């Protein structure tokens, strides 16, 4: 089921890839050279000046063109050559020293279009809109021969493989890593780690074949008192069959975080006895409280409007000991619009004089604030109120995972470690069916698709905000979060493909693609926050005021050349750690030496004259 087992030794890894490169086309540089590191950047540049391209295993050059002009919004037009592979777009300037380049995975492209008609000289302008907060513009002379395809037509084909009935590059990429990231998350092990009490909760196999709910995982945790038959009834009452199931349980109070989708109440106020029983059972499973909170992520107006479409929210008559709270978080369309405005404000240039009010008018930070505030309320009810909570929005796959996973990060320090965070993503986002394919639109040229929305980006932004407030509480660094976002779009790894666990299984994604975690976990040191202090059972309550939220400039403004990426504190800390290790070694050496010397000096007190040179301890 999984792709070729992990390889332990570096040697075997190198040899296996070199042989593969031998078979491939001539433009290929050897993989050993690719992987040579440290001075990677300069290396790449030197290679490119010779006209060579750093290629990944199974990456093949599809087309290239000389005499393309990249219209850089920061330094103006740059002439060079453009190469398109089945994975990336590579632009390298030819007419200037120093070397200048662009290197981006095709997955980040959301739109490629011709702008205007050809000029009298036959120049055509192309605009490339990217998912990662930038737009690129190229000017290129159309080929004389009308039969020959322009490099941009090739680009369009490979940028949107799904629309062209091709497979994503993730299915080609065959890099082998020492660790297999597809094994990071094991639901049973995770629920065991949480200390799931067997007397009140059970792991149901009712969704083993994804028949109860095709967007839910196979393993579902429900109260022991509810039968599978009752669950089936509940599933017809919850939108998309997404029934209330356990996400996390407090190790001491046993207050639970439960997630669901909206109840199908409709205009007539339909009720479902099994659903009511299920929520009562969830409440009863926690002896500490006789109350529970239902957090509806939506603004109350939206929740009410959903009744027209058959949805709605829990009425307090039907759910007697439950208190319903609306969290006022807007839907995917509002968030998409907000990010669009943000992109206008940050790219390419920032307007100096109205930066803050422009930023405010995007409402991006306001949305971040509401999401964090909602998560904080959930975490607080569970931790301080010892109350179980149910979280849902409409379908329970956008705002719900944002809220539950942020609340879980606040509540459980395990999720603040690198591997714990991977588990959290695998569980709350991937297994519970956040519709990554739809929201990101991997390889799909339909850029106006109303289902696209930066929900996951928003979540990562919230996590970043928390790492700013608690710089020592997270094991991972900023680069880890950036890497996740880069590969959310890159389509190099299989991790963020498809919409649900069921789809991923059907497409055999774990078998045919590499997991992002294979890459990450094979070089963990790159992603470690050196300031991390592990303190167990420590709950984080971030401050969600707008005063403490800031725009994540290293993500949103990173294309601006005036932006210097640096983490001086972390870097300095690493140097200090190295220094400490060195000193420790020397002290230990001297200690040993001194011990030997005292041992020997006691035996031959008369001593040799040489010892008087080293006065250490001799004056005693």
Partner 1 sequence: PTPGQTALPTYHGDLSPHPYLSPREIVVNEANFVRKCISAESCQDDLWGKLVCTNFKVSFITHNSLPRQCTHRLLGEHDIPLACVEQVVTVNDVKGKQKILGSNQKLKFNPTELILYCKDFRIIRFRFDEAGPESAKKVCLAIAHYSHPADPQLLFGFEYVGKRYHGSTACTRVVCSGERMNGIDPGGGMQTTLFDCSSDWDREIKRTGASEWRVCTINQGYFISPSLPEFFVVPVSLADQDLKQYACFFYSQRIPLWCWNHSSGSALVRMSNISDPQQQRKVEQRISSAITKSHPLRSDVFKSDLDKNLPNIQDIQAALLKLRQICVIDPFEESEEKWLSSLESSRWMEYVRTFLRHAVEVVYMLESRNVPVILLEKEDRDLSCVISCLVQLMCDPHCRSLHGFQGLIQKEWVMAGHRFLDRCNHLKKNDKEESPVFLLFLDCVWQLWNQYPAAFEFTEVYLTVLGDSMWVPIFSTFLFNCPRQRAENSRWDWSQQFSLKDQTLFNNPLYVGKIATCVQNGTVKTFTHRRSKKNYSSTLRGLPSALRNGSLGPNDTLARRNSLVLRLRSDLSQVREQQETPSERFIRDFFSRPVDLQGLLLPQLLPSHLSVWKLYFLRWVPEAQIPQGGPITAFHKLSVLTDEIDMLQNQLRQYKGAGGTPNNLHAEHSKMYFKATSTPHQPPAPPEYLSSSFPFSPVGNLCRPGILGSPLSKFLNGAKIWLSTETLANETI
User: In angstroms, what is the minimal distance from the CB of 349 to partner 1?
Assistant: 9
Cβ(99)–Cβ(92) under 8 Å?
Answer: yes
User: In angstroms, what is the minimal distance from the CB of 613 to partner 1?
Assistant: 10
Q: Which of 342, 418, 485, 544 binds partner 1 (CB under 8 A)?
A: 544
The Cα–Cα gap between 497 and 291 comes to 39
| Stretch 161-190: interaction string toward partner 1, x if CB under 8 A | --------------x-xx------------
The Cα–Cα gap between 182 and 430 comes to 12
The Cα–Cα gap between 426 and 614 comes to 61
Size of the site for partner 1 (CB under 8 A): 126
Q: Which of 6, 7, 45, 150 binds partner 1 (CB under 8 A)?
A: 45
Question: Per the residue annotation, which of 393, 462, 491, 498 is the catalytic one?
Answer: 393
Nearer to partner 1, 111 or 291 (CB): 291
Nearer to partner 1, 164 or 584 (CB): 584
The Cα–Cα gap between 306 and 300 comes to 10
Going by C-alpha positions, the residue among 176, 177, 194, 180 that lies closest to residue 420 is: 194
In sequence order, which residues have a C-beta less than 8 Å from that of residue 469 and are 6 or more positions away?
540, 542, 543, 548
Cβ(306)–Cβ(276) under 8 Å?
Answer: no
Binding site, annotated residues for substrate? 306-309, 331-332, 393-399
| Stretch 278-317: interaction string toward partner 1, x if CB under 8 A | ----------------------------------------
Strands (E), 388-531: 388-392
Going by C-alpha positions, the residue among 463, 470, 397 that lies closest to residue 434 is: 397
| Residue reference for tokens 């006022």 | 328
Instruction: Give just the sign of the alpha carbon dihedral 212, 217, 219, 220.
Output: negative
Q: Which residues, 578 to 607, sit near partner 1 by CB under 8 A?
A: 578-580, 583-584, 586-587, 590-591, 594
Q: Which of 469, 505, 512, 611 binds partner 1 (CB under 8 A)?
A: 469
Judged by CB under 8 A, the stretch of 161-169, 221-229, 445-453, 572-580 that binds partner 1 is: 572-580
Going by C-alpha positions, the residue among 294, 313, 293, 295 that lies closest to residue 303 is: 313
Q: Which of 11, 97, 144, 199 binds partner 1 (CB under 8 A)?
A: 97
The Cα–Cα gap between 424 and 437 comes to 19
Q: Per CB under 8 A, does 610 bind partner 1?
A: no
Q: Per CB under 8 A, does 12 bind partner 1?
A: no
Q: Which residues, 221 to 260, sit near partner 1 by CB under 8 A?
A: none
393 catalytic residue (yes or no): yes
Q: Which of 281, 359, 455, 498 binds partner 1 (CB under 8 A)?
A: 359
Q: Which residues, 49 to 88, sit near partner 1 by CB under 8 A?
A: 54-56, 69-79, 88
Q: Which residues, 111 to 170, sit near partner 1 by CB under 8 A?
A: 119, 121, 123, 134, 136, 139
Which pair of tokens denotes residue 395?
A: 């379908």
Cα-based distances in Å from 567 to 352, 523, 534, 562: 25, 19, 21, 16
Q: Which residues, 422 to 451, sit near partner 1 by CB under 8 A?
A: none
User: In angstroms, what is the minimal distance from the CB of 249 to partner 1?
Assistant: 19
DSSP helix/strand/coil, 222: strand
Q: Which residues, 488 to 527, sit near partner 1 by CB under 8 A?
A: 492, 519, 522-523, 525-526
| Phi (first) and psi of residue 263, to 5 degrees | -75, 145
User: In angstroms, what is the minimal distance from the CB of 431 to partner 1?
Assistant: 25
| Residue reference for tokens 């992603």 | 527
DSSP helix/strand/coil, 147: coil
Q: Per CB under 8 A, does 339 bind partner 1?
A: no
Q: Which residues, 23 to 42, sit near partner 1 by CB under 8 A?
A: 34-38, 40-42
Give me the active site residues, please.
393
């Amino acid at each position: 089921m999984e792709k070729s087992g992990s390889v332990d030794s570096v040697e075997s890894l190198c040899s296996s890839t070199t042989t593969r490169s031998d078979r491939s086309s001539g433009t290929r540089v050897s993989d050993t050279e690719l992987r040579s590191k440290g001075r990677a950047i300069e290396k790449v540049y030197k290679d490119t000046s010779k006209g060579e391209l750093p290629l990944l295993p199974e990456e093949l050059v599809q087309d290239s063109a000389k005499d393309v002009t990249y219209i850089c919004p920061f330094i103006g037009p740059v002439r060079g050559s453009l190469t398109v592979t089945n994975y990336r777009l590579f632009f390298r300037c030819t007419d200037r020293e120093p070397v200048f380049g662009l290197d981006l995975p095709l997955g980040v492209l959301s739109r490629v279009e011709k702008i205007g008609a050809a000029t009298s000289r036959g120049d055509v302008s192309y605009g490339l809109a990217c998912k990662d907060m930038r737009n690129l513009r190229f000017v290129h002379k159309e080929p004389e021969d009308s039969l020959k395809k322009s490099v941009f037509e090739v680009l369009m084909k490979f940028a949107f493989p799904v629309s062209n009935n091709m497979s994503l590059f993730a299915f080609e990429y065959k890099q082998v890593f020492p660790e297999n990231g597809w094994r990071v998350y094991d639901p049973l092990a995770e629920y065991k780690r949480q200390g799931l009490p067997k007397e009140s909760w059970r792991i149901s196999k009712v969704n083993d074949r994804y028949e109860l709910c095709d967007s839910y995982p196979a393993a579902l945790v429900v109260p022991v008192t509810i039968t599978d038959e009752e669950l089936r009834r509940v599933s017809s009452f919850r939108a998309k069959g997404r029934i209330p199931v356990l996400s996390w349980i407090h190790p001491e109070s046993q207050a639970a975080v439960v997630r669901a989708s909206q109840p199908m109440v409709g205009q007539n106020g339909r009720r479902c006895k099994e659903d009511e029983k299920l929520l009562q059972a969830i409440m009863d499973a926690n002896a500490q409280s006789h109350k529970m909170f239902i957090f509806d992520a939506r603004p109350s107006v939206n929740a009410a409007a959903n009744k027209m479409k058959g949805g709605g929210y829990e009425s307090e008559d039907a759910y007697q000991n439950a208190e319903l709270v609306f969290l006022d978080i807007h839907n995917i369309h509002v968030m998409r619009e907000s990010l669009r405005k943000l992109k206008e404000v940050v790219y390419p240039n920032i307007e100096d004089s109205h930066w803050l009010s422009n930023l405010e008018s995007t409402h991006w930070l306001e949305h971040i604030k509401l999401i964090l505030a909602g998560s904080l309320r959930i975490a607080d009810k569970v931790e301080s109120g010892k109350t179980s909570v149910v979280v849902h929005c409409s379908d329970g796959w956008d705002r719900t995972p944002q809220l539950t996973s942020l609340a879980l990060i606040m509540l459980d320090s395990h999720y603040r470690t690198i591997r714990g965070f991977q588990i959290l993503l695998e569980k709350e986002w991937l297994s519970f069916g956040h519709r990554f394919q739809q929201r990101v639109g991997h390889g799909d040229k339909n850029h106006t698709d109303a289902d696209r929305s930066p929900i996951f980006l928003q979540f990562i932004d919230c996590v970043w905000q928390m790492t700013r407030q608690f710089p020592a509480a997270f094991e991972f660094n900023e680069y880890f979060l950036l890497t996740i976002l880069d590969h959310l779009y890159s389509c190099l790894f299989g991790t963020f493909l498809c919409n649900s666990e069921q789809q991923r299984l059907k497409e055999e994604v774990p078998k045919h693609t590499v997991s992002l975690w294979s890459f990450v976990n094979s070089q963990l040191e790159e992603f470690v926050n050196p300031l991390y202090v592990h303190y167990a059972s420590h709950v984080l309550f971030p401050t969600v005021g707008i005063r403490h939220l800031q725009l994540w400039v290293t993500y949103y403004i990173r294309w601006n050349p005036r932006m210097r990426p640096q983490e001086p504190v972390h870097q300095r800390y690493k140097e200090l750690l190295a220094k400490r290790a060195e000193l420790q070694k020397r002290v230990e050496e001297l200690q040993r030496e001194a011990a030997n010397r005292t041992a020997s000096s006691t035996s031959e007190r008369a001593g040799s004259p040489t010892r008087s040179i080293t006065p250490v301890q001799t004056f005693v």
